[in-house]
Amino acid sequence: MFALAVPAGPVSALQVVWLILVCVLWIGFFFLEGFDFGAGMLVPFLGKDDRQRRVVLNTIGPHWNGNEVWLLTAGGAMFAAFGGWYATLFSGLYLPLFLVLLGLILRGVAIEYRGKRDDAIWRKTWDWLLAVGSLLPALVFGVGFANFLKGLPVAGHQTAFGTTVPLYAGTFWGLFTPFALLGGLLFVALFLTHGLFFIALKTRGVVHDRARSWGTTIGAVAGALLIAFVIWGNLHKTLPGQLGGLRTAAWILGIVAILALGFAWFMNWVGRDGWAFIGTALTVVTLIAMFFAHFYPGLGFDNSLAMDTPLDITTASSSPLTLKIMTIAAACLVPIVLAYQVWSFWLFRRRISTRNIPGLASEIDDYDAAVA
């Protein structure tokens, strides 16, 4: 059913639709997991004692597991709709993807195991592993998407199960160019800011005030990195077959991302937590959309070394029947997923503080007690 060796030719409407849907799924993942990654990285630092660290952790506790489903769905959509894209990425970038998997495993285990023993060293150890497990995917995804933006080189091909798939022509260490490292730092700083604004939105008391204060500083760093990345990325060489109109759209999306982050920073500064979080959410949405504007039609690959076996939206695509069946399934299931996501956030919409964490009354922060 997954016809990877589709002859190059005109792009069909369903191929465009599924590239847009894959983009939407990645946007959903980075919007939702972005504040999860940010909060996870902040747990050992933002909370000065175990009660405060539990407040930070509890802001994402009801959501983090469900948010990861967006990554599985995005990967599954890439596999089913553009099998050649998926196959080349997973064969050529196995080690970076393994690092992402390692980070996700560390996060899940740390969240589930930190409360299994009533021991301070045990909990602190898992808090640090949670921070590392949250940092790894953010950093690797940033480096990876920056490489897709400039174009991963492919050359030659490999044959498996009767399917011809181009090979990644670079090396693991070749992924860490200055531009790619800038992308990694941007994703880390942006997710930290997104996480801080989410924590400020979901808490009150000393954790809330500390999140706002840190958000002002880290948000400014994220803004500087974003400006540099948008300018550098959009001034990069044009990949073969890239459309001029989409390059213009990429510039517009990048500028909107910068303005949205500036808006978020200002709203945090004046104490409007909800608007600050909406601002970073819009930043994530427009930044990922900017990436995908560059991905058409080459899917983030530089085919200049493999013109005989190019990898693009047509050659990587599944058969028209597969795309048609997937479209019908997506039309039925996506609204259900979105409805569940909205319901879960509505259900856990109230702010929390250390007063909501069980423990001795003497351990409650004076500030939290005063404002409760």
For residue 219, report the phi and psi dihedrals to the nearest 5 degrees: -65, -35
pLDDT tens profile 241-250: 556 678 889 9
Pairing state between β 163-168 and 152-160: antiparallel
Mean pLDDT of 63-92: 85
pLDDT for position 93: 84
Cα–Cα distances in Å, from 350 out to 102, 174, 176, 183, 269? 32, 46, 42, 34, 22
Interhelix angle 178-202/13-46, rounded to 10 degrees, is 70
pLDDT above 70 (res 369): no
When mean pLDDT is compared across 123-137, 141-155, 237-251, 353-367, the lowest value belongs to 353-367
DSSP 209-234: HHHHHHHHHHHHHHHHHHHHHHHHHH
Residue 173 has pLDDT above 60, yes or no: yes
What six digits make up the tokens of 175? 């992924």
Backbone angles phi and psi of 168, in degrees to 5: -65, 125
Provide the percentage of residues in the chain whose pLDDT is more than 90: 45
pTM equals: 0.88
The pLDDT tens digits of the residues spanning 237-276 come to 555 555 667 888 999 999 999 999 999 999 999 999 999 9
How many whole angstroms separate alpha carbon 259 and alpha carbon 281?
A: 12
Instruction: Give the residue-averaged pLDDT of 161-190.
Output: 83
